[in-house]
């Protein structure tokens, strides 16, 4: 099994690069943001609670996203592997993911981080907001709040994987194909 964590701040390009990896390696994409938005669309209690936090740019509780990932791992036992996108976003989520994967006798091979500075992120998200319909992409204060959450709670997750010797950072600014080529070379080394 090939299990990758694609890491980086909002707007770094995780979704774009995930789509390319899925096509090449037949992996299952697990984006907690997408899973949460599906709950919101379905009007579930979980979705309604999550929406209140997402509309403020705040992370939803760890237990909520860990439970969603647990379900998806159990539903896809025969998968070639997974790309985790937007998860884990806290050190507690990273530790929980290690435990969940261990229950299936697998582990993360590599965390690949897309590095992009804040001004570029803000511009990318505001431009995505014009077409994505995502309310959290249409307000600059909300974007800055998401980047702040990332810096405070999510950035430490990189150290968690670095301590396991599983972290590689790459420059997330440049041609999509060039960035993808770097990701593939990291994947192929594993
Ligand atoms: P982006 O990375 O562009 O901000 P996502 O779709 O990954 O977008 O996440 C949107 C929102 O969903 C986040 O701001 C947060 O409120 C919530 N969210 C998504 N994944 C997680 C997670 N793993 N832990 C906590 N909250 C999450």
Rg (CA), the chain: 16
User: Are 33 and 59 a contacting pair, CB within 8 Å?
Assistant: no
**Confidence at residue 158, expressed as pLDDT on a 0 to 100 scale:** 98
> Quick check: 3 pLDDT over 90?
yes
Give residue-wise pLDDT tens across range 86-100: 999 999 999 999 999
User: Are 94 and 157 a contacting pair, CB within 8 Å?
Assistant: yes
Ligand 1, atom 18: nearest CA belongs to which residue? 33
Q: Which residues line ligand 1 (CB under 6 A)?
A: 10-11, 32-33, 36, 53-54, 57-60, 65, 86-87, 89, 93, 146
User: Are 167 and 157 a contacting pair, CB within 8 Å?
Assistant: no
User: Are 69 and 30 a contacting pair, CB within 8 Å?
Assistant: yes
User: How far, in Å, are 44, 114, 130 from residue 133 at the CA level?
Assistant: 20, 24, 7
Instruction: Using the atom order of ligand 1, give the atom closest to the CA of residue 14.
Output: 2
Q: Among 14, 35, 60, which residue has the most ligand 1 atoms within 8 Å of its CB, making it the best to mutate?
A: 60
Ligand 1, atom 1: nearest CA belongs to which residue? 10
Catalytic residues: 14, 89, 128, 134, 146
| Residues 136, 49, 75, 9, Cα dihedral to 10° | 30
User: Are 172 and 115 a contacting pair, CB within 8 Å?
Assistant: yes
**Confidence at residue 38, expressed as pLDDT on a 0 to 100 scale:** 98
Segment 109-135 shows an average pLDDT of: 94
CA of 49 to the centre of ligand 1 (A): 14
Which positions ≥6 away from 172 have C-beta within 8 Å? 8, 12, 13, 114, 115, 116, 179
Q: Among 9, 36, 143, which residue has the most ligand 1 atoms within 8 Å of its CB, making it the best to mutate?
A: 36
The predicted model scores a pTM of 0.95
Q: What is the mean pLDDT of the chain?
A: 96
User: Residue 190: which pLDDT band, with cuts at 50, 70 and 90?
Assistant: confident
Give the H/E segment covering residue 168: strand 167-171
The angle at the Cα of 146, spanning 168 to 65, to the nearest 5 degrees, equals 75
Give residue-wise pLDDT tens across range 133-146: 888 999 999 999 99
The residue assigned the tokens 């592997």 is: 81
CA of 141 to the centre of ligand 1 (A): 16
CA of 174 to the centre of ligand 1 (A): 24
């Amino acid at each position: 099994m090939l299990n990758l964590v694609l890491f980086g701040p909002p707007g770094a390009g995780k979704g774009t690069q995930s789509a390319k990896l899925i096509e090449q390696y037949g992996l299952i994409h697990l984006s907690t943001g997408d899973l949460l938005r599906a709950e919101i669309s379905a009007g579930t209690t979980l979705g309604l609670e999550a929406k209140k936090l997402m509309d403020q740019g705040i992370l939803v509780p760890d237990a909520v996203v860990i439970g969603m990932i647990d379900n998806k791992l159990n539903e896809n036992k025969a998968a070639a592997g997974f790309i985790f996108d937007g998860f884990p976003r806290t050190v507690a989520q990273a530790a929980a993911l290690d435990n969940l994967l261990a229950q299936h006798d697998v582990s993360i091979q590599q965390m690949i981080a897309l590095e992009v500075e804040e001004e570029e992120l803000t511009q990318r998200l505001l431009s995505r907001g014009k077409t994505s319909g995502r309310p959290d992409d249409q307000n600059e204060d909300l974007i800055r709040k998401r980047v702040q959450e990332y810096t405070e709670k999510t950035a430490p997750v990189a150290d968690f994987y670095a301590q396991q010797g599983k972290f590689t950072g790459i420059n997330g600014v440049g041609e999509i194909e060039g960035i993808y080529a770097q990701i593939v070379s990291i994947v192929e080394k594993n």
